[in-house]
Amino acid sequence: MLKVMIVDDEPYILQGLQFLIDWNKEGFEIDALMSNGKEALDYLANHKIDLIISDIKMPVMNGLDLLDEVERQQLSDAKFVFLTGYDDFSYVQRAIRNNCLDYILKPVSREDLLNLLHRVSNLNEEKEKVRESQKTMEDAFLASNLMSIIKGKFDSNNIDFVNNHLQLAGGIRFVDIEMMTEDVSDEEDDFDLRVLQKQMFTACRDILKENASHFIFDVSYDKDNYDAHRN
């Protein structure tokens, strides 16, 4: 579920938006309701939010100042959408220049809100795909650097990369897990060992969870060895 914060000084707006649509059905949940930008800013300091729907004109801190502070302090990468009236278009222009995703005119219609949420969902899916692709590349590069160290063919760049990505407190250590056979005589035996290696690799990564990238395949120079390493 993507988390939503709604910021408005008018209680009936806050209440109306809560019940205008089925948020959960659309993949969202309302995480916070705030009456001004200052309250929202304080909340964002300690909570992860994916979408902020905010009024522009509010007491204490208005929506534009909230957006400016979020950007300045780098508090959140949430998508920002403003609630506005017809007479606030000059404010909307400034908001869009400051990385606001979009705006919705008051009174908010169900169709406009649903269209907005669908757009945010699509943007989030694209963002996740890019993030997963980047992580796959980083994991592959980390595995390459770790193997260089394990094989004794490394330089300072390999050491620096591994230290930065594993955030090790001391020296680099690893556990070597090996599956060996004395007589691999045919392709079927070789295939069975590769299957076992992949199963062990998957099981170990599941156990390590957020540190799954620390466990790597060893594509050994010795075809009779089927190794994996836990760093």
- For residue range 95-129, what is the model confidence (pLDDT) as tens digits? 777 778 988 988 999 999 999 999 999 998 988 88
114 lies in a domain?
A: no
Out of 108, 137, 153, pick the residue that ends a domain. Answer: 108
22 in the same domain as 102: yes
**Mean pLDDT, rounded, for 206-211:** 77
Chain mean pLDDT for the chain:
82
- The answer to whether 95 touches 83, Cβ cutoff 8 Å, is no
178 lies in a domain?
A: yes
128 lies in a domain?
A: no
- Reported confidence tier of residue 148, pLDDT bands at 50, 70, 90: confident
Query: Measured between alpha carbons, how far is 166 from 211 in angstroms, rounded to an integer?
Result: 9
Out of 61, 76, 108, pick the residue that ends a domain. Answer: 108
66 lies in a domain?
A: yes
Asked if pLDDT for residue 186 goes beyond 60, the answer is no
Query: How high is the pLDDT of residue 225?
Result: 44
**Mean pLDDT, rounded, for 161-176:** 70
13 in the same domain as 94: yes
146 lies in a domain?
A: no
Query: How high is the pLDDT of residue 168?
Result: 62
- Reported confidence tier of residue 92, pLDDT bands at 50, 70, 90: confident
Structural domain for 65, as ranges:
2-108
138 lies in a domain?
A: no
159 lies in a domain?
A: no
Q: What's the CATH number where 53 sits?
A: 3.40.50.2300
* Prediction pTM value: 0.66
Total number of domains constituting the chain: 2
Q: Phi, psi at residue 206, to the nearest 5°? A: -65, -40
Query: Measured between alpha carbons, how far is 229 from 175 in angstroms, rounded to an integer?
Result: 6
Query: How high is the pLDDT of residue 221?
Result: 44
Q: Name the nearest CA neighbour of 6 among 122, 156, 116, 94.
A: 116
Say how many C-beta atoms besides its own lie within 10 A of residue 44's C-beta: 21
161 lies in a domain?
A: no
Out of 87, 108, 129, pick the residue that ends a domain. Answer: 108
104 in the same domain as 7: yes
Query: Measured between alpha carbons, how far is 85 from 19 in angstroms, rounded to an integer?
Result: 21
**Terminal alpha carbon distance of the chain:** 34
Number of H helices and number of E strands within the chain? 7, 8
